Amino acid sequence: MPQPFAKQPPPISSAMNDIKHPDGGKRRRALITGLSGFTGRHMAARLLDEGYDVWGTTSPASEPDVPGTTGVPLNLLDLDAVRACVSDAQPDVVVHLAGLAHVTGNAPTQSYLVNIMGSRNLLEALSQLDKKPRAVLMASTSNVYGNANVEIIDENVPLNPGNDYAVSKLAMENMARLWLDRLPVFFTRPFNYTGVGQGEDFLLPKIVNHHARHEARMSLGNLAVSRDFSDVRDVVEVYTRLLEVAPAGEAFNTCSGTGHSLGEILTMMQRIAGYKIDIFVDPRFMRRNEIAKLVGSNVKLRRAIGRVPITPIYDTLEWMFKHARAQVEDEAVQSAAVVRT
């Protein structure tokens, strides 16, 4: 099966804490909240490749440990536990990814609790360390812009969140700015991104996996909406570069700068998979306050880190399809083996 993540070393031990850099310094340490999530796993692989000792927080219901990292089960709403975690980790850099990732109205209370209070607990704990991290990346969302009346959204567009998830993320940004006198906090506002490992409850993995299974029919929502899609590998590369420049107090769009409608995505998948799936537009998948077009400007990001990596979305879909297709074939082989026994 194709490997979704960068090659990683075997699990580390406590002895890793004393590994030295060639220049004699101690190995740099990164703390990733949401380590075992979709972005967290790719972020860990990238930072391991960069030479970091990677620690991360996981939820009790998370996937198995990420190879090469130290995972710490943690509820961010438990301040004492968060303090203990960051005290043990002693991070040089922090990537805060943990939070509710869906734009839905089904769990607004949890969105506010986790995205605001969980983030506040993390910042409070970090601020109490004797040796503060040199960079704290807080992942927000492009949804804070809402239905912006512009073709391309830059960071100067007025913030107008249109759902509880976006409101909670904007509140997180505003809350985190209270810590700028103590911590080098900055923010990313990622537009849509995808890749191997993202769950099928997200749109593009759903489309890819239906094609990988060669299903005849698929239900979707509004096909006319246009989105700026990035490859998760590009996103974690951007995050890694931002950690190096540590632009305290700044917010950066993370995006390709190009929009694609869902109709265009389906045409690409037809070419990749070699057949055309029948689409049923299901009103249940139509969102209230749907943002019609969400395309970002990465000009500010380029000024901060230089060239922004941009993988064509066709290549990303092809990568995802090959991996999903290999999984389907593996499952078929396993099922056949069970039948034979």
Per-residue pLDDT for 23 more than 80?
Answer: no
Task: Return d(Cα 235, Cα 141) in angstroms, integer.
Answer: 13
Distance CA 74, CA 59 (A): 6
Decide: helix, strand or coil at residue 27.
coil
Q: What is the DSSP string of 59-84?
A: -TTPPSPPTTSEEEE--TT-HHHHHH
Q: Does domain 14-202+229-258+293-315 have CATH number 3.20.20.70?
A: no
Distances (CA, A) of 218 to 15, 99, 202, 206, 213: 50, 29, 14, 9, 11
3-state SS class at 185? strand
How many residues does the structure list for the chain?
Answer: 341
Q: pLDDT value at position 24?
A: 44
Q: In terms of DSSP bridges, do strands 93-96 and 70-73 run parallel, antiparallel, or are they unpaired?
A: unpaired
pLDDT of residue 338: 63
CB–CB of 102/37 below 8 Å?
A: no
Q: 218: burial class by Cβ within 10 Å (0-12, 13-18, 19+)?
A: middle
Report pLDDT for 2: 41
Interval 242-285: pLDDT, tens: 999 999 999 999 999 999 999 999 999 999 999 999 998 887 77
CA angle 250, 251, 253 (to 5 degrees): 145
Average pLDDT, the chain: 89
Q: Taking each helix axis from N to C terminus, what angle separates 313-340 and 203-212, rounded to the nearest 10 degrees?
A: 50
Chain mean position to CA 19: 29
Is the whole-model pTM more than 0.75? yes
Rounded distance between C-alpha atoms, residue 166 and residue 174, angstroms: 12
Tell me the CA distances in angstroms from 234 to 95, 248, 266, 308, 312, one per residue in order: 16, 22, 22, 8, 10
Going by pLDDT thresholds of 50, 70 and 90, the confidence category of residue 64 is low
Q: Are 208 and 277 in contact (CB under 8 A)?
A: no
Per residue in 7-22, pLDDT (tens digit) is: 333 332 333 333 334 3
**Alpha carbon distance 70, 17 (integer Å):** 11
For range 47-71, the mean pLDDT: 87
Domain boundaries, the chain: 14-202+229-258+293-315
Question: Cα separation of 305 and 245, whole Å?
Answer: 7
Spell out the alpha helix ranges (H) of 177-289: 203-212, 232-245, 262-273
Show the CA angle centred on residue 252, arms to residues 317 and 255, nearest 5°: 20
pLDDT at 165 over 50: yes
